Structure 1
Amino acid sequence: MEISAEVREVVANLVTERFPDATILSIEITRDFDADDDEIMKVKVVFATETDRLDARATSSFLRYLRPKLSEVGVSMFPVMSFLSGNEANGAAA
């Protein structure tokens, strides 16, 4: 099943809100299953900043803000987050 536009918008809006100093290059969201065969939502955020880093406090607390917003739109899947700088993402693809 595809991730809805509404869910994509919720994630994108929160990423933009929580990381105002970053340029968001892309957000990729896919469904997957964990080791217990529970459905999860993988979210990969690719960003650019002057330092190639995001605020560690904002990344570590991101799920605390995201889970209630997902719940509001009826999503119970646990989000698994990845934050990559554009340089990391380009290196990972090479």
Structure 2
Amino acid sequence: MVSKSKLNAVIEKVLRDIFDDIDIETITVEPDIDEDGDNILRVRVIFDGENKQLDTHKTSSLLRYMRPKIADIGENAFPVVSFIAKSEIRKPKPEAA
């Protein structure tokens, strides 16, 4: 089994290398199981900017670069990547008194 820190480091390097033109704030990687029972990795990328700033050529080809890198360290789960603009994250509403 691949250590979480090594897996995170590989995924982060791929993301930062490919998306060097956006300010990535946070990357989280969580193992999960999809509807078919297959192992997946839920990758959330929080970036400072607008969704329209994402280069669609880069997002559409991302897995072509990421999958071989994580396979090289022994991880076979399929990455499912979500990009979320920091401005799109909902702030919790204050509770009523």
Query: For this structure pair, what is the TM-score category when the shorter chain's length is used for normalisation?
Result: 0.7 to 0.9
Q: Structure 2 regions of 5+ residues with no counterpart?
A: 93-97
Amino acid across the alignment from 1:29: V
Pick the structure with greater CA Rg. Answer: 2
Q: 1:83 to 1:77 in 2, by over 3 A?
A: same
Displacement of 1:3: 5.8
Is the 8 Å Cα contact of residues 2 and 73 (structure 2) preserved in structure 1? no
Q: What TM-score does the superposition give when structure 2 sets the normalisation length?
A: 0.85
Deviation of the 1:4 alpha carbon: 1.2
Identical amino acids, percent of aligned pairs: 35
1:5 aligned onto 2:16: no
Gaps of 5+ in 1: none
RMSD, aligned α-carbons: 1.8
Runs of 4+ in 1 over 2 A off after TM superposition: none
Alignment partner, residue 73 of structure 1: 73
* 1:62 corresponds to 2:56: no
TM-score by length of 1: 0.87
Work out the number of aligned pairs and report it.
91
For the Cα contact (< 8 Å) 1:3–1:30, is it kept in 2?
no
